Amino acid sequence: MSAPAPASSPLPAGIHVVTGGASGIGAACARALAAAGARVAVADRDLARAEAVAQEIGGRAFALDVAHEEDVERCAAAIEAEFGPVDVLVNSAGILQVPLRPHDLPMEAWDAVINIDQRGTYLGCRAFARGMLKRRAGSIINIASITGSRSVPMHAYAPAKAAVIAISRCLAAEWGPAGVRVNSISPGYTLTPALQAAIDKGERDVSNLAGNAALNRLVLPEEVADAVIFLAGRTSSAITGIDLPVDCGWLVATTWHTYGGTRLPE
């Protein structure tokens, strides 16, 4: 088990929970939080991989499937009882979607994305906030996506991530009087194992993903984790209800392609 965050640490001393912490952005967040001195609970439906990450960082692993309300409630109660009071929650559990046309996208696939990415995030917020509200302190960071702020051919994923942004804003106002902050982070196209697998299958064109960003590259999972560290701790103590893009400038650069794209200074 990692040591409690020292007094000089910007992070709260309680437990930091990362859902979807077994891989991708979630695993990067778990590693970054532990490196900053936090005690981290890695929660994931793939318990074996969660245990591997937890062992690496000196944390604890918990089985969690955010698609099921009772499982989320059980996991939240288990972490509070067995590991300690939760001060920070990072909701990173989610699945991707193949960019199919609406009539080619099976409703089962649409339902799965909405159930996990949108509903699962809300369930996590609700379950883990109970202890935070009693203690009058806490920080919740929901991993959304830049697709939630633009029109893209992702007819389940983008609406689900737009909902995550809206959920975060609503809960920030609801729970702010109790000292619980809620923010979201919208990563750009991030080089996770899941995205790399989609690239390898030909489902994503890496040149388009990187070329449409102002910095002309993909985001690294560790860069999203850096934003999580900021929003989790004391250096952002007056910030709640925001959506923080970590996107290598994708949001600002995409409209430039109407005019031929971004360009190097002369």
Question: Catalytic residues, which ones?
Answer: 157
Instruction: Please answer whether residues 182 and 171 qualify as being in contact, where contact means their C-beta atoms are separated by less than 8 angstroms.
Output: yes
- Size (the chain), residues: 266
Q: Give the Cα separation of 96 and 198 in Å (integer).
A: 9
Q: In the chain, where do the E strands start and end?
A: 15-19, 39-44, 60-63, 86-91, 138-143, 180-187, 243-246
3-state secondary structure of 265: coil
Exposure pattern of 108-137 as b/e (b: 16+ CB <10 Å)?
ebbeebbbbbbbbbbbbbebbbebbeeeeb
3-state secondary structure of 149: helix
- Looking up tokens 């979607």 gives 97
Q: Give the Cα separation of 121 and 238 in Å (integer).
A: 23
Among residues 218, 191, 189, 22, the alpha carbon closest in space to that of 99 is found at 189
